[in-house]
Amino acid sequence: MRSRRDFIRASGFIGIGFIGLKLYACGDKVASGDVAAALALDYGPLVKDPLGVLDLPEGFTYKIISTQGDPMDDGLLVPGKPDAMGTFKGESGRIIIVRNHEIVPTDKNLGAFGIDNVNLGAIPKEDFYEFGKGTFPGLGGTTTLVFNEETQEVEKEFLSLAGTYRNCAGGIMPWGSWITCEEDVTKIGEFEGNVETEHGYIFEVPATTEITRAAPKPIKEAGRFNHEAVAYDSEGGILYMTEDRSDGLLYRFIPNTKNDLHSGGKLQALAVKNGPKFDTRNWPDTLGPDILQNIPMALEWIDLDDVEAPQDDLRMRGHQKGAALFARGEGMWYDKGVIYFACTNGGDLMKGQIFKLTPDADGGKLELFIEPNNVDIMKYCDNLTIAPWGDVMICEDDVDAYLRGVTPKGEIFTFGHATKFESEFSGICFSPSGKTMFLNIQHAGITLAITGPWKA
């Protein structure tokens, strides 16, 4: 049986999907193309940060606005491992930032309740999704920051969802809520019987300036699996979701009532029309032809049943019914009728792909946006966002992490580099005004606000 690489060689398809794509990186890693063109394309070379926190192009500055372990306004501590974030417009120039935390019950030194959860009694038991019999509570969830964009100061910070596990990514909803996702499928009874409820769901956190916690109510009809990110198509009223598995699917949830994800609904998985069980991963040892860049493929959607999947087999059953495979779907963002999402381990080198999904009434179209297969260009793409001027801004999940940008034409540039910390970037997003970009250096436990001469 021949692999897809054998198929490509025999077919003469080498490189067709990459014709015309220019790849750039700024600073000391210009991979190809003219240096002057690269500098005109992006923001210029990176300037070394004397503090070693974050190298940025000239004219850009960062400010650390939150650090794990700092006291919050609700009497708790800033949790560690900040992950995806979303921003919302508040009153009087304030920005509401909702931030995930990718921590689990064993991260007792990183939770909001102090070392060994000494302050666990600071909030009522009913505010937890998982209380863990008081000895193994969920320590993930979300925090909310109220940020004054004019002064670049945090005016309020508090725990806004308690008791969930490993909140990785999520997505902003047009009605003013953040959907946060559990990248975890722990079952009742695990960890010596201390786990009291099922995990692997998504939760809604209203964006508010009031110190309050969201009701820990899972949206079970949207499926139980290793959730990563969501993006809401505001025109179609459909929620799209990625799955962080090497054999993951791409899902969509159609609520019974538009803009009400708690109203029940239908869960479906993406399939390539006339291409059952299509493999988008482009791995050397997978079968069938490569998916080529910038070639849209028509889609159809497969209905799924038993969506709470007690055996964590939703993706397997979906693939058997014809759903396409993706290599660790992660960050996802909706903007102006288009959804971009990252697959961290996709591609010939298993170093990352970014896809473009265009929903429509007929099922939509999917195309491979970029797959550089060059670690100097991009590696392990994770959280991403769409800048107000259309660039896709990308966090790398690597100990030597870079911030990358991709223009709508597919031209890649470098925007930032972490040198002091061996940590992935996460949580990249812009303020509603587009003047401030927010970012986490996850394992350092810090959140930054970045300002400078952004594109018009």
Enumerate residues 6+ apart whose C-beta is below 8 A from 31: 23, 24, 25, 374, 376, 377
Give the model's pLDDT for residue 291: 85
CA nearest to 436, candidates 47, 58, 65: 65
CA nearest to 231, candidates 181, 184, 278, 185: 181
Give the model's pLDDT for residue 393: 97
Give the model's pLDDT for residue 287: 73
User: What DSSP letter does each residue of 388-421 carry, written as one string?
Assistant: TTS-EEEEE-SSB-EEEEE-TT--EEEEEE--SS
Give the model's pLDDT for residue 41: 61
Q: How confident is the model at residue 40 (pLDDT cuts 50, 70, 90)?
A: very low
Q: Please count the residues of the chain.
A: 456
pLDDT per residue over 403-422, tens digit each? 999 999 889 999 999 988 99
pLDDT per residue over 221-247, tens digit each? 999 999 999 999 999 999 999 999 999
- Model confidence at 38: pLDDT above 90: no
Gap between the Cα atoms of 20 and 439, Å rounded: 32
Residue 280 DSSP label: -
Give the model's pLDDT for residue 278: 95
- Model confidence at 257: pLDDT above 70: yes
Q: Are 390 and 407 in contact (CB under 8 A)?
A: yes
Q: What is the pTM of this model?
A: 0.92
- Model confidence at 363: pLDDT above 80: yes
Gap between the Cα atoms of 394 and 331, Å rounded: 9
Position 186, amino acid: T
- Model confidence at 368: pLDDT above 90: yes
Helix H, strand E, coil C: the string for 101-152 is ECCCCCCCCCCCCCHHHCCHHHCCHHHECCCHHHCCCCCCEEEEEEEECCCC
Sheet with 425-430: strands ordered across: 61-67, 446-451, 437-441, 425-430
Enumerate residues 6+ apart whose C-beta is below 8 A from 346: 280, 281, 282, 283, 326, 327, 328, 352, 353, 371
Helix H, strand E, coil C: the string for 364-394 is CEEEEEECCCCCCCCCCEEEEEECCCCCEEE
- Model confidence at 430: pLDDT above 50: yes
Tokens (6 digits) for 222: 């949207």
Tokens (6 digits) for 436: 């401030």
Gap between the Cα atoms of 159 and 213, Å rounded: 7
Q: Are 188 and 194 in contact (CB under 8 A)?
A: no
Assign 38 to helix, strand or coil: helix
- Model confidence at 152: pLDDT above 90: yes
Q: 97 pairs with which residues across the strands?
A: 87, 145
- Mean pLDDT, residues 130-157 taken together: 97
- Mean pLDDT, residues 128-154 taken together: 97
Residue 317 DSSP label: H
Tokens (6 digits) for 286: 């997978």
pLDDT per residue over 259-282, tens digit each? 999 999 999 999 999 999 999 999
- Model confidence at 353: pLDDT above 90: yes
Gap between the Cα atoms of 129 and 217, Å rounded: 7
- Model confidence at 196: pLDDT above 90: yes
pLDDT per residue over 437-450, tens digit each? 999 999 999 999 99
Gap between the Cα atoms of 171 and 125, Å rounded: 27
Position 302, amino acid: I
Gap between the Cα atoms of 414 and 327, Å rounded: 23
CA nearest to 432, candidates 91, 204, 75: 91
Give the model's pLDDT for residue 375: 93
Mean pLDDT of the chain: 91
- Model confidence at 288: pLDDT above 80: no
Report CA-CA distances (Å) from 122 to 107, 117, 162.
18, 10, 12
- Model confidence at 20: pLDDT above 70: no
* Percent of the residues in the chain that have a pLDDT greater than 90, as a whole number: 86
Enumerate residues 6+ apart whose C-beta is below 8 A from 441: 53, 54, 418, 421, 423, 425, 426, 448
Residue 5 DSSP label: H
CA nearest to 66, candidates 452, 366, 445: 445
- Model confidence at 1: pLDDT above 50: no
Choice between 294 and 231, residue whose per-residue pLDDT is larger: 231
Q: Are 82 and 68 in contact (CB under 8 A)?
A: yes
- Mean pLDDT, residues 380-407 taken together: 96
- For 329-346, b/e burial (b = at least 16 CB within 10 A) is bbbbbbeeebbbbbbbbb
